[in-house]
Amino acid sequence: MILVTGGAGFIGANFVLDWLAGQDEPVVNLDKLTYAGNMENLAALKTDSRHVFVQGDIADGGLVAELLARYQPRAVINFAAESHVDRSILGPEAFIQTNIVGTFRLLEAVRAYWNGLASGPKQGFRFLHVSTDEVYGSLSRETPAFTESNAYEPNSPYSASKAASDHLVRAYHHTYGVPVLTTNCSNNYGPYHFPEKLIPLMIVNALAGKALPVYGDGQQIRDWLYVKDHCSAIRRVLEGGGPGEVYNVGGWNEKPNIEIVQTICALLDELRPRQAGGSYTSQITFVKDRPGHDRRYAIDAHKLERELGWKPAETFETGIRKTVQWYLDNPDWVSRVQSGAYREWTDRQYGQTAESVV
């Protein structure tokens, strides 16, 4: 048995689905079900007895302790997080509460549980904390990619809160001996991605005939990782990673945001041409850049490859095609996650600053 936190969100749900598709070991799935947590992501497991879902908060130490005592998991994988930079700028408190306070209380419950295990289970237990490359800050075009030894230089409330959670995880290993693992991943994309992030937002807006909002000049560079590759990396780290170690997970796909948007437009031009004719690129709209927008992230994943033999299976070209096709095949999922609150947020974030580009 493993315990997954945040397993109804984008990455967590993909992990749970992939885990149970590949093996019979049961999963206890703890998720608060905020706006980004969606039980429809887990619809395929509705009658699967290997999946035990519990609605709750990682900051509820009593609940976490109860679940640990009842199910006796051999590992905890922590996906639970507030994860959107723009939302953290508008309202940072939720990020502090979930990413810092929540991680602290989760670690406290895990520490007590781990201390009470018999020697065999205690030696085999792992706590895997899923984090982000954004904790490392921003890179220039010429600077080498982030390695695990890079100093932390977070530039947004989101990345600062994740950096704090990483430090807590490290401290619980070095102070208390808790056998932790940390992964820092690059930008994920793929199925079940809530349409506030760049790739699903572009797909959804394009199909709806809406503007495709691109911050600033669109030259912000990110490394892109197909979510199922990320899931396979986490499984490999859980299986073979050394306690206390940090592993960067990247897709070896550095691309500027405007190129991502243009690629999506080209795929939609091919797979779902506009009824009015012309290219979806005509919908691209540049908007005022967000405060403190990091210019470039890049992950050096050589340690994970060298020590654990992991490489991504997808190129960006294969992964983005699969992603666009998934959104084309699942319009009902998209329409149901776009609540009134979501529409109000996107209007507030992008609607007042759009400037059309011919």
Q: Taking all residues of the chain, what is their mean pLDDT, rounded to a whole number?
A: 93
> Taking the CB of residue 357, how many other CB atoms lie within 10 A of it?
12
Query: Which tokens belong to 44?
Result: 């395929």
All residues at 6 or more sequence positions from 274 whose CB lies less than 8 Å from its CB, including other chains:
209, 280
CA torsion 142-146-150-155 (nearest 10°) is 80
Quote the DSSP letter at residue 189.
E
- Please state, in angstroms and rounded to a whole number, the distance separating the CA atoms of residues 190 and 199: 9
2-192+225-252+293-314, CATH topology level: Rossmann fold (3.40.50)
- Please state, in angstroms and rounded to a whole number, the distance separating the CA atoms of residues 134 and 294: 9
How deeply is 218 buried, as exposed, middle or buried, from its count of CB atoms within 10 A (0-12, 13-18, 19+)?
Answer: middle
158 is catalytic: yes
- Please state, in angstroms and rounded to a whole number, the distance separating the CA atoms of residues 266 and 206: 11
pLDDT of 81 > 50? The answer is yes
pLDDT of 144 reads 95
- Please state, in angstroms and rounded to a whole number, the distance separating the CA atoms of residues 139 and 120: 44
Region of residue 244 (phi > 0: left; psi between -120 and 50: alpha; otherwise: beta)? left
Question: Given 31, 82, 86, 134, which residue is catalytic?
Answer: 134
134 is catalytic: yes
Question: Given 158, 226, 280, 327, which residue is catalytic?
Answer: 158
Share above pLDDT 90 across residues of the chain, in percent, rounded to a whole number: 84
pLDDT of 74 > 80? The answer is yes
Give the confidence band of 290 by pLDDT, cuts at 50, 70, 90.
confident
Are 18 and 228 a contacting pair, CB within 8 Å? Answer: yes
pLDDT of 355 reads 29
pLDDT of 83 reads 82
- Please state, in angstroms and rounded to a whole number, the distance separating the CA atoms of residues 118 and 156: 42
Give the confidence band of 197 by pLDDT, cuts at 50, 70, 90.
confident
- Please state, in angstroms and rounded to a whole number, the distance separating the CA atoms of residues 70 and 219: 50
All residues at 6 or more sequence positions from 119 whose CB lies less than 8 Å from its CB, including other chains:
none
What's the predicted TM-score (pTM) here? 0.92
pLDDT of 260 > 90? The answer is yes
Distance of CA 267 to the CA centre of its chain: 24
Question: Given 133, 196, 294, 314, which residue is catalytic?
Answer: 133
> How far are the Cα atoms of 47, 59, 96, 131, 334 from residue 167, in angstroms, in the given order?
38, 17, 14, 11, 36
All residues at 6 or more sequence positions from 249 whose CB lies less than 8 Å from its CB, including other chains:
183, 184, 185, 186, 225, 230, 233, 234, 299, 301, 304, 310
pLDDT of 212 reads 97
Give the confidence band of 356 by pLDDT, cuts at 50, 70, 90.
very low
